[in-house]
């Protein structure tokens, strides 16, 4: 249920948070498990948990302590050389994908602003530029800096909060304890990886030192690579090219942590991290021997960055009499940025140099945390959890550029031979500066009834969000001369109810109902791009927030030797935000003449009345003697726009992973078969129906006895050199021959890891 402008509710929830914090709420350590030290003295890092079952609240655990959980070990991450979100979905999580075209995680058919990303519990905004495609931000991290990854499928509304309709990608970074083994006061790890898929090489290192109760950690990585290979073989210019465009990129990640432990289970901390990735591409598909852009005259630019500084406070009770058992909180500053553009030289239309650079950035200051307490009332054991998320942010977009276009005529048009200048709006903002505020509080109570094995967890979350646009000179310079739109404010109450029955020690059934909420972003509300004589893309400040109702039933079976999980889900969405072309009457109603936009008409954002996604997920594993393990996983989802009956293109086709592992102690190997069904519908001018495929990956690892702490990993991917396509990334990218959009053929990856 959504209630607009509910200030009294906001004040009440704020007062609740202040009372809870002032009563002695402290914060809990981010470490999920304790690293182990082998007999040779080498340190084994904590395993990576994918929405694992954790018994207490912790940073990054958006819905920890839930049976709606899957787990991937750190050993599997290392052995299969998972270095990207795409690798995670390819090897262990068939229901997770990464859309390279939009720079977003896709979970259960939803992506972009509908999937929440957090790092150490801190939300990382998805930069949704609605006009010039400077979107992304979900991958502004390096896997070498992580100690854990949580993935929540579907919306656990009482924990995840606004924007998590599809799920949560929650990342936890390394802590000093992850590197320092028992009985030691320092530890480190160095790694080097080479990947032939983009001819990249990536060194990384991390070192931690402990002096009494003070610990510090430094971590850094660098990566340099080129274009991602495909199966195309036509090295031509323009629309016939199938080989990838030549490209070079540099990526670096730096992190520093300081931790000070005090008596009573308290820990103070400071975290600082910085991530940058810059890519330059010789865009040969936009060039022609006799065209407007000649060979070498069109280069694209793409840059991503994220910086974060946080003050972290952790608490873990050392006494049963404590007011709280454990908790965590972070006061943080964060900046996220995306930049896309090009530099070129035009030979025919408007002769001379031309360049564009579109910047989109968002700066946030906030505080986030959670705390819990276990207690009993009669025959019922309670685990009460309270969490909060308060933040203020500012987003800005600006397009800068240069060209040989003259000033327009008084009518706004351009004389020949400069008519193409009407399409080149630059040195302006397409979206006003937007100041945003958000407040979120949640509480849930896991109630276990005696020894019955039955537990019931009701939960509820309150969210309030406000966008306040501000007129700037850059927005006033917009070609369409837009007026400042109205502000936006919304509140939501998102309840949840989960029931769990542990029928046996290794048999658990569960069912959950949860509501979700996502407010429209600044681009959907306020963007304006285009002009008379061309086309117009408009935001819609009257949009309603999206809401969801999610239903899920499933079971977790067995143990680490033999078991699996199965779950069925059905999600209904209301006010689903999408784009639509306006007809003449609709354009006139908002003050525009459709006849003035002959090139592409007028499009805007609208609310669809109803949409739904349902599906099923299944996984199983069996360990045999002599170190052999069989694995299988399947993910299926079906999405539909209930207004017109069309399928939701963001929902990927069925995907499965079947694998066999062999572990001989000192070395091991795995074979994986990854298969996907074909895309739905039929190919169109804007939609690519990808064919089904099946590929095989072969990976191996070796730990030589002669060098303590050394591990060698190697893999051959797409072993049989099959041509296939990643639906999540290419479904809306058409224009070139199909093989231009294909994935890499046979490639290899090798990494050397030395632990100290």
Q: What are phi and psi of 232, to 5 degrees?
A: -75, 155
For the cut 80, the answer to whether the pLDDT of residue 658 exceeds it is: yes
Q: 380 near 448, Cβ under 8 Å?
A: yes
Distance separating alpha carbons of residues 720 and 723, to the nearest angstrom? 9
Residues 6+ apart with CB under 8 A from 607: 543, 544, 546, 575, 576, 577
Tell me the CATH number at 392.
2.40.170.20
The dihedral sign for the CA sequence 128, 132, 133, 135: negative
Query: 519 versus 43: which is more confidently predicted?
Result: 519
pLDDT score recorded for residue 58: 53
Q: Distance (Å, rounded) from C-alpha 636 to C-alpha 618?
A: 9
Euclidean distance between CA atoms 301 and 99, whole angstroms = 19
Q: Which residues face 381 on adjacent strands?
A: 376, 448
Using alpha carbons, select from 179, 177, 199, 183 the residue that is nearest to residue 191: 179
Element (H, E) at 475: helix 473-476
pLDDT band at 373 (very low <50, low <70, confident <90, very high): very high
User: How far, in Å, are 334, 500, 501, 514, 671 from residue 449 at the CA level?
Assistant: 43, 11, 10, 22, 44
Give the model's confidence band at 55: pLDDT under 50 very low, under 70 low, under 90 confident, else very high: very low
Determine the Cα–Cα distance for residues 650 and 648; give it in Å rounded to an integer. Answer: 6
Does residue 188 register a pLDDT over 80? yes
- pLDDT value for 22: 36
Q: Which residue has the higher pLDDT, 8 or 505?
A: 505
Between these two residues, 181 and 738, which has the higher pLDDT value?
738
- Token digits for 135? 């979107």
Q: What is the pLDDT of residues 446-483, one digit of tens each?
A: 999 999 999 999 999 999 999 999 999 999 999 888 99
Taking alpha carbons only, the member of 300, 291, 357, 368 closest to residue 57 is 368
Query: Is the peptide bond preceding residue 417 cis, with omega within 30 degrees of 0?
Result: yes
The mean per-residue pLDDT over the stretch 193-206 comes to 97
pLDDT at 267 over 60: yes
SS3 sequence, 13-63?
Answer: HHHHHHHHHHCCCCCCCCCCCCCEECCCCCEECCCCCCCCCCCCCCCCCCC
Please name the residues in contact with 133: beta carbons below 8 A apart, sequence gap of 6 or more. Answer: 340, 358
Q: What is the model's pLDDT at position 53?
A: 38
Residue 66 has pLDDT above 80, yes or no: no
Q: How far is CA 359 from CA 131, 300, 401, 468, in A?
A: 11, 14, 11, 20
Dist CA 86 CA 726 (whole Å): 10
CB 480 within 8 A of CB 429: no
| 445, 383 Cβ separation under 8 angstroms | yes
Question: Taking 90 as the threshold, does the pLDDT of residue 11 lie above it?
Answer: no
What's the whole-number mean pLDDT along residues 193-203? Answer: 97
Closest CA to 120 of 141, 102, 98, 103: 141
pLDDT in tens, 333-372: 999 999 999 999 999 989 999 999 999 999 999 999 999 9
E strands present in 110-213: 115-119, 122-124, 146-153, 167-173, 186-195, 200-211
**3 state DSSP class of 228:** coil
Of 27-36, 230-239, 486-495, which range is least confident?
27-36
Are 276 and 310 in contact by the 8 Å Cβ rule? The answer is no
Quick one: pLDDT at residue 35?
A: 42
Mean pLDDT, residues 588-610 taken together? 91
Residue 129: pLDDT band by 50, 70, 90 thresholds?
Answer: confident
> Following DSSP, what letter does each residue of 438-457 receive, concatenated?
EEEEEEEEEEEETTTTEEEE
**How many domains does the structure of the chain reveal?**
1
Radius of gyration of the chain (CA): 26
Task: Please give the residue range of the domain that contains residue 131.
Answer: 2-488+495-755
User: Going by C-beta distance under 8 Å and a sequence separation of 6 or more, which residues neighbour residue 140?
Assistant: 124, 275, 277, 304, 305, 306, 336
Whether residue 62 has pLDDT greater than 70: no
Confidence of residue 375 (pLDDT cuts 50, 70, 90): very high
363, with CB counted inside 10 A (0-12, 13-18, 19+), is middle
pLDDT-derived band at 65 (thresholds 50, 70, 90) equals low
Q: How confident is the model at residue 46 (pLDDT cuts 50, 70, 90)?
A: very low
pLDDT value, residue 51: 37
Q: How far apart are CA 506 and CA 115, in angstroms?
A: 31
């Amino acid at each position: 249920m959504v209630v607009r402008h509910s200030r009294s509710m906001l004040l009440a929830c704020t007062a609740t948070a202040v009372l809870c914090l002032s009563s002695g709420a402290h914060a809990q350590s981010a470490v999920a498990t304790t690293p182990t030290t082998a007999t040779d003295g080498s340190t084994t890092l904590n395993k990576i948990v994918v929405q694992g079952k954790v018994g207490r609240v912790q940073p990054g655990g958006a819905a920890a302590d839930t049976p709606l959980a899957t787990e991937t070990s750190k050993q599997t991450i290392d052995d299969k050389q998972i270095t990207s979100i795409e690798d995670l979905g390819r090897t262990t999580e068939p229901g997770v994908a990464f859309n390279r075209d939009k720079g977003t995680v896709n979970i259960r058919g939803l992506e972009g602003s509908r999937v929440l990303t957090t790092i150490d519990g801190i939300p990382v905004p998805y930069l949704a530029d609605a006009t010039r495609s400077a979107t992304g931000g979900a991958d502004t991290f390096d896997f070498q800096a992580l100690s854990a990854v949580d993935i929540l499928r579907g919306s656990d509304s009482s924990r995840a909060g606004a924007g998590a309709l599809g799920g949560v990608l929650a990342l936890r970074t390394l802590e000093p304890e992850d590197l320092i083994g028992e009985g030691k006061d320092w530890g480190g790890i160095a790694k080097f990886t080479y990947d032939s898929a983009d001819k990249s090489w990536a060194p990384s290192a991390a070192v931690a030192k402990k002096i009494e109760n003070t610990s510090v950690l430094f971590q850094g990585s660098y990566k340099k690579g080129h274009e991602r290979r495909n199966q195309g073989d036509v090295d031509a210019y323009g629309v016939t090219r199938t080989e990838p465009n030549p490209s070079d990129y540099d990526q670096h990640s730096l992190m520093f942590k300081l931790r000070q432990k005090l008596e009573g289970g308290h820990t103070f901390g400071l975290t600082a991290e910085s991530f940058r990735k810059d890519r330059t591409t010789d865009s040969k598909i936009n060039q022609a021997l006799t065209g407007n852009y000649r060979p070498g005259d069109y280069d694209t630019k793409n840059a991503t960055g994220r910086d974060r500084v946080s003050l972290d406070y952790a608490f873990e009770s050392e006494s049963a009499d404590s007011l709280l058992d454990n908790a965590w909180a972070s006061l943080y500053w964060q900046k996220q940025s995306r930049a896309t553009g090009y530099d070129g030289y035009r030979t025919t239309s408007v002769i001379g140099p031309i360049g564009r650079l579109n910047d989109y950035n968002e700066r946030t200051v906030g505080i986030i945390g959670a705390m819990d307490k276990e207690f009993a009332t009669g025959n019922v054991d309670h685990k009460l959890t309270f969490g909060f998320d308060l933040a203020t942010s500012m987003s800005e977009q600006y397009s800068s550029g240069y060209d040989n276009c003259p000033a327009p005529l008084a009518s706004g048009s351009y004389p020949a031979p400069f008519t193409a200048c009407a399409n080149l709006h630059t040195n302006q903002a397409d979206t006003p500066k937007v100041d945003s505020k958000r407040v979120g509080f949640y509480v849930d109570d896991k109630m276990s009834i005696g020894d019955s094995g039955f537990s019931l967890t009701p939960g509820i979350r309150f969210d309030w969000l406000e966008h306040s646009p501000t007129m700037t000179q850059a927005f006033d310079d917009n070609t369409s001369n837009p007026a400042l739109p109205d502000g936006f404010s919304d509140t939501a109450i998102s309840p949840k109810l989960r029931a769990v029955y542990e029928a046996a020690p290794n048999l658990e059934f569960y069912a959950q109902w949860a509501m979700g909420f996502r407010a429209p972003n600044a681009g959907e509300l306020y963007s304006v791009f285009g002009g008379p004589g061309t086309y117009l893309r408009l935001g819609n400040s009257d949009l309603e927030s999206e809401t969801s109702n999610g239903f899920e039933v499933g079971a977790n079976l067995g143990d680490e030797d033999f078991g699996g999980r199965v779950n069925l889900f059905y999600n209904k969405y209301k006010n689903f935000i999408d784009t639509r072309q306006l007809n003449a009457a609709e354009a006139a109603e908002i003050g525009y003449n459709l006849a003035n936009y002959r090139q592409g008409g007028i499009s805007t954002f609208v609310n669809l009345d109803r949409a739904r996604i349902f599906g099923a997920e299944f996984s199983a594993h069996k360990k045999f003697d002599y170190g052999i393990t069989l694995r299988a996983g399947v993910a299926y989802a079906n999405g539909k726009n209930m207004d017109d009956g069309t399928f939701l293109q963001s929902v990927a086709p069925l995907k499965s992973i079947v694998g066999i592992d062999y572990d001989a102690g000192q070395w091991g190997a795995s074979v994986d078969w990854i298969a996907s069904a074909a895309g739905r519908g039929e190919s169109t001018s804007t939609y690519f129906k990808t064919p089904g495929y099946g590929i095989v990956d072969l990976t191996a690892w070796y730990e030589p006895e002669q060098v303590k702490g050394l591990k060698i990993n190697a893999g051959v991917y797409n072993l049989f050199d099959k041509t296939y396509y990643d639906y999540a990334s290419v479904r809306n990218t058409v224009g070139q021959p199909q093989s231009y959009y294909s994935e890499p053929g046979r490639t290899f990856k090798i990494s050397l890891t030395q632990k100290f």
